[in-house]
């Protein structure tokens, strides 16, 4: 019976539709839906980028080993030296690429994952507001039913009027519960708005920090990459 009750409550929450009177929450619900879609795409794109970069690291290391082996069998001294230097260059590039992969995982993938977690947390919060609204509606419905029952007894000459005091007590209790549920609903709505504002501010701040950290790391790696290639050019020109 407990299982059936839990299932019934879950179904009730799924089928309940509140008539939204606050445009803020209508817009916020659409915004969260868009963030969920775009955040999922962003997470998938960044994850694929990391996978591709890992493949590039592996390929670069393979290239370095192949060049090193070729340098060992090359009879031309200048060319062998240049091939050996190119192998070292490729190995350094592989290291730089691995640092970039780590930066992509740390700053991009984790940011996208954080966005999805934040969206889900916001949706869970909105679900609590819907639950509070449903509780208020249920209390209002129960109160309305008791009042109608009392009116029917008062209008029927054959009704048991001894029930009226009981109904009046129940009506008073339900009216109090309706008032409490309305206050709870308004309190939850106000709290959610305040928390959503904080989440929005934090999200934009986190995005800025993630992008700046990633771009800073990428710039450093690109500068090191340029220096490595510039160093190799001298060895290539020395081939006679």
49 pLDDT higher than 60: yes
Which pLDDT value is given to residue 225? 95
Q: What percent of the chain has pLDDT above 90?
A: 72
Rounded mean pLDDT of 195-214? 91
The pTM score is 0.74
Q: 18 or 139, which is more confident? A: 139
Give CA–CA dist 84/71, Å, rounded: 5
Which pLDDT value is given to residue 74? 84
What confidence tier does 57 reach under pLDDT thresholds 50, 70, 90?
Answer: very high
- Confirm or reject CATH 3.40.50.12280 for domain 27-234, answering yes or no: no
* Residue pLDDT, tens place only, 142-172: 999 999 998 888 888 777 778 888 999 999 9
User: Could you tell me the sign of the dihedral formed by the alpha carbons of 184, 190, 193, 199, in that order?
Assistant: negative
What confidence tier does 75 reach under pLDDT thresholds 50, 70, 90?
Answer: confident
User: Could you tell me the sign of the dihedral formed by the alpha carbons of 173, 178, 181, 183, in that order?
Assistant: negative
- Phi/psi for 15 (5° steps) reads -90, -15
199 pLDDT higher than 80: yes
4 pLDDT higher than 90: no
Q: Which residues lie below 8 Å from residue 24, measured CB to CB, with a gap of 6+?
A: 193
Residue ranges per domain, the chain? 27-234
* Residue pLDDT, tens place only, 100-139: 999 999 999 999 999 999 999 999 999 999 999 999 999 9
Which pLDDT value is given to residue 1? 47
12 pLDDT higher than 70: no
Q: What percent of the chain has pLDDT above 70?
A: 90
């Amino acid at each position: 019976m407990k299982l059936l009750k839990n299932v019934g409550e879950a179904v009730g929450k799924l089928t309940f539709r509140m008539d939204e009177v606050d445009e803020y929450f209508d817009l916020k619900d659409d915004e969260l839906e868009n963030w969920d879609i775009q955040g999922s795409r962003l997470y998938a794109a960044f994850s694929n980028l990391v996978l591709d970069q890992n493949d590039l690291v592996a390929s670069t290391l393979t290239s370095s080993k192949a060049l090193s082996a070729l340098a060992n069998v090359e009879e031309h001294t200048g060319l062998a030296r240049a091939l050996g230097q190119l192998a070292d260059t490729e190995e350094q590039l592989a290291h730089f690429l691995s640092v970039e992969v780590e930066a992509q995982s740390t700053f991009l993938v984790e940011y996208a994952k954080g966005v999805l977690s934040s969206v889900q947390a916001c949706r869970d919060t909105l679900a609590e507001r819907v639950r509070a609204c449903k509780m208020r509606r249920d209390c209002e419905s129960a109160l309305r039913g008791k009042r109608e029952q009392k009116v029917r007894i008062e209008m029927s000459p054959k009704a048991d009027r001894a029930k009226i005091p009981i109904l009046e007590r129940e009506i008073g209790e339900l009216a109090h519960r309706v008032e409490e549920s309305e206050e709870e609903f308004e309190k939850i709505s106000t709290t959610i708005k305040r928390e959503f504002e904080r989440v929005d501010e934090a999200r934009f701040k986190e995005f800025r920090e993630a992008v700046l950290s990633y771009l800073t790391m990428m710039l450093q790696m690109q500068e090191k990459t340029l220096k490595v290639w510039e160093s190799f050019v001298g060895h290539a020109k020395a081939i006679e």
